[in-house]
Amino acid sequence: KKQELCLSLASSPHSYQRMGGEQKTKRKQNPDKISPHAGIIGGRKADAHSRPYMAYLEIKNGRNTTACGGFLIRPDAVLSAAHCMDKKGTVKVTVTLGAHNIRRQERSQQKIRAGKWVIHPQYSRKDGKNDIVLLKVWPNTSFLPEGSPPAQVGDLCTVSGWGWTSKAGDMSDVLMEVALKVQYAEICEQLSNNFQCQSMICVGDEEEEKATYKGDSGGPLVCNKKAHGIVSHGYEDCLFPEIFTRISHFEPWIQKQLKRFSRKAIPCFPFSD
């Protein structure tokens, strides 16, 4: 059975300190355009089916196909990054659950067409703010038990994905995972004044040997068995640090959308303006 990943509804107060930096650094452009696979730089292969909440999103937009990660938070709901879905024209999304090797026909896999999703109304394509989307699915799932206290600055958390395993574009068919450290907000603020500590988490490996990369967007930052963040974006000139969407900041919005899911009141979004 698939498992849902519990959301962390609390966040570390240490990461709320703001010092602000003047230097601006561009985000990675088109972070999820892959061909056609979707790991992790400096990570390792995840044990097969050890992260059953993971979702692989295949997004078709005309002749283009991109991929992102995502994760179950409820039997009918997957969280991911808004920039994965922010495309013009007709968008079709297939969600694969229960996968380890995404290129094989594993008996554990479920492929589900996601016909409904909601991008946060204040998502900004320009600076990556509010980079969160909720998709409706209909899989058979079970709950992941409650985890431990929220992550603190300095904690090692894990991220999983099928994205690129090097800057050169080497890709992995199997799910990869990597341990990354939660950093002080000041580190990201010194690189970009677009960083918002209330809605973002600064994460990374100081030695630049480990990181998420293209195709990993939308995957969860798991600390103490709870999802605290969503892979969002990084900086063009370095792998460290990385920006994750802070889930706890969006809890009211998430709960509102989940209620709409339950009432079947959410509109279908096969198109993106």
The phi, psi pair for 79, rounded to 5°, reads -95, 145
Distance CA 109, CA 49 (A): 10
The residue to which tokens 């809890």 are assigned: 251
> CB-hemisphere CA count at 13 Å for 156?
6
Distance CA 263, CA 116 (A): 13
**How far lies 204's CA from each of 71, 94, 200, 210, in Å?**
20, 30, 13, 8
Do the Cβ atoms of 164 and 219 come closer than 8 Å? no
DSSP 80: E
Please, is 166 exposed, middle or buried when counting C-beta atoms within 10 Å of its C-beta (0-12, 13-18, 19+)? exposed
Q: Residue 53 is encoded by which pair of tokens?
A: 């909440």
Residues taking part in catalysis: 83, 131, 217
User: How many other CB atoms are there within 10 angstroms of residue 252's CB atom?
Assistant: 8
